[in-house]
Structure 1
Amino acid sequence: MTINIEYETEKKLDLDYETIIRQVVEKAMDYEKCPYEAEVNVTLTDNAAIHEINREYREIDRATDVLSFPMIEYETPADFDALEDVMDQFPEDYFNPDTGELMLGDIVISVEKVEEQAEKYGHSKERELAFLTAHSMMHLFGYDHMEEDEAKVMEAKQREVLELLGITR
């Protein structure tokens, strides 16, 4: 598995962010039973940069805590079996030609929002970073939270991944 982590802000996050991100990504992969070696790209940035990305890609003119850019369109979230035929027909659209790994997608996290929300919700920065990573991983697996029933499923999965890692509020 390849987890590329880029730190693109001068604002320092005083914790072992690489370990936290790697553990959550790997646990989410196991939890969703992804049958492939995969590649995930994570960028840690600041509010100004994530605001610009949010405006450019989502036409939302404000900073947000996390953005997810999945590379796969699932009919049913995390249904890798249903993707088999499409991936076999167009492997270059799904697999990195250099590594053979499934390209799940990109995650962008605001370091400033990690700190702000940890304080707001009364838990550690480690827990907030882990939560945002788990949340984004669920998006990379095709889950969403636009409808109440979808949100319940996604929230339960995020919580379970964090519980498996012993990361609680």
Structure 2
Amino acid sequence: MTLNFESEYEKELPFDAREVAEKVFTFTMDYLGCPYEAEVSLLLTDDETIHQINKEQRDIDRATDVLSFPMADYVTEGDFAFLEEEGADCFHPETGELLLGDIVISGDKVLQQAESYGHSPLREYAFLIVHSLLHLVGYDHMEEQEAKRMEKKQADVLESMGITR
């Protein structure tokens, strides 16, 4: 598993953001039964930068907590079977790893939402990574049934990792 981690966030989080991201990424992909070694890029930034990215990429003029930019369109959430036939462009040409996509997280929102929801910044950060990884493999929450399945996966992963509220 390869995590391309970059931090532009100038404030300090009360944990090692790269180390936590690596653990959550590896655990989540194993939990989902991903049959491939995978690669993901994660940018930790601030509200101003994520606002700009959200405006440019999604035409939404506000900061958000996390953005996910998947490399593939999954027919069925979390089902990797189609990739070998249809997803050749989703594999790194040199390493053979599955390219999942990009994640952008606002460190400002991690701290704000942790306080607002009454849990630790570590739990919020881990939650946002799991949430985004699920988006990268086809999960969504636009419809009620989709949201229930995604929320259950998120809760199961975090609970299995011992990261609770």
Give the TM-score normalised by the residue count of structure 2: 0.97
Structure 2 residue runs of 5 or longer lacking an equivalent are: none
1:10 aligned onto 2:10: yes
Match for residue 108 of structure 1 among 104, 119, 122: 104
Say which of 127, 133, 140 aligns to 1:137.
Answer: 133
1:146 match: 142
User: CA–CA distance in 2 between the matches of 1:155 and 1:19?
Assistant: 24
Shift of 1:84: 2.5
What is the CA deviation profile of residues 29-84 of structure 1, one whole-angstrom value per residue up to 9, with x for unaligned ones? 01111100110100000000000000011111000000000101111011111332
| Alpha-carbon separation, structure 2, partners of 1:121 and 1:10 | 23
Alpha-carbon shift at residue 8 of structure 1 (Å): 1.0
- SS of 2:111's equivalent in the other structure is helix
Residue 45 of structure 2 aligns with which residue?
45
Q: Which aligned pairs between 1:45-124 and structure 2 lie closer than 5 A?
A: 45-87=45-87, 91=88, 93-124=89-120
TM-score w.r.t. the length of structure 1 is 0.95
Letter in 2 for 1:18: R
Q: Equivalent residue of 2:81, what SS? A: helix
| Residue equivalent to 1:127 | 123
Please list every run of 5 or more consecutive structure 1 residues that lacks an aligned counterpart in the other structure.
none
> Runs of 4+ in structure 1 displaced over 3 angstroms?
none
What amino acid maps onto 1:54 in structure 2? N
Equivalent in the alignment of 1:35: 35
Cα RMSD of the aligned pairs, angstroms, is: 0.9
3-state secondary structure, aligned to 1:72: coil
SS of 1:56's partner is: helix
SS in 2 for 1:146: coil
The answer (yes or no) to whether the contact 2:24–2:130 under 8 Å persists in 1 is yes
Q: CA deviation at 1:96?
A: 1.0
